[in-house]
């Protein structure tokens, strides 16, 4: 039984070793010549204006969470489309219920104003 998990353990071991090597070797090999221009926070190629420690609105985080939720939808629908014919009616009903729940969630968010950025 342990032999079935050996490749998984080896994968974790190699991943952990690579991570460790990258974190240890990169600071040793990288050039270090800081200057005032390099120490400025980079923001999309333009100079930052306003306060640097401004708290974002809750709407920003709500929009981000909704984006993740509806983006995960695509992760579930894609494999379903690949296996559509072999799943037959049970697969169709399952996906229709999944999409219905997502549609109801979207309508609920819309009615509550969660999709409105400004009021």
pLDDT in tens, 107-119: 998 898 887 877 6
Query: Does 119 reside within a domain?
Result: no
| CA atoms of 101 and 76, how far apart (whole Å) | 13
Give 101's pLDDT tier (boundaries 50, 70, 90). Answer: very high
Query: Does 118 reside within a domain?
Result: no
Give me the number of domains the chain comprises.
Answer: 1
Q: What is the CATH number of the domain that holds 22?
A: 1.20.58
| CA atoms of 72 and 97, how far apart (whole Å) | 16
Query: Does 53 reside within a domain?
Result: yes
Query: Does 107 reside within a domain?
Result: yes
Kindly tell me if the per-residue pLDDT of 16 is higher than 90: yes
Which tens digit of pLDDT belongs to each residue from 38-95? 777 766 666 666 666 777 777 788 888 888 888 888 888 888 889 988 988 999 999 9
The residues near 92 (Cβ < 8 Å, ≥ 6 apart) are: 84
Q: What is the pTM of this model?
A: 0.50
Which domain covers residue 69, as residue numbers? 2-112
Are the beta carbons of 66 and 115 closer than 8 angstroms?
Answer: yes
Query: Does 117 reside within a domain?
Result: no
């Amino acid at each position: 039984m342990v032999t079935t998990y050996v490749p998984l353990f080896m994968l974790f071991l190699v991943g952990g070793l690579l991570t460790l090597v990258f974190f240890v070797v990169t600071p040793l090999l990288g050039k270090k010549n800081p200057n005032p221009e390099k120490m400025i926070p980079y923001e999309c190629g333009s100079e930052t204006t306003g306060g640097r420690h401004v708290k974002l609105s809750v709407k920003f985080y709500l929009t981000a969470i909704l984006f993740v939720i509806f983006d995960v939808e695509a992760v579930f629908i894609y494999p379903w489309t690949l296996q559509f014919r072999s799943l037959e009616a049970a697969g169709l009903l399952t996906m229709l219920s999944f999409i219905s729940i997502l549609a109801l969630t979207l309508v609920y968010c819309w009615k509550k104003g969660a999709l409105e950025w400004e009021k």
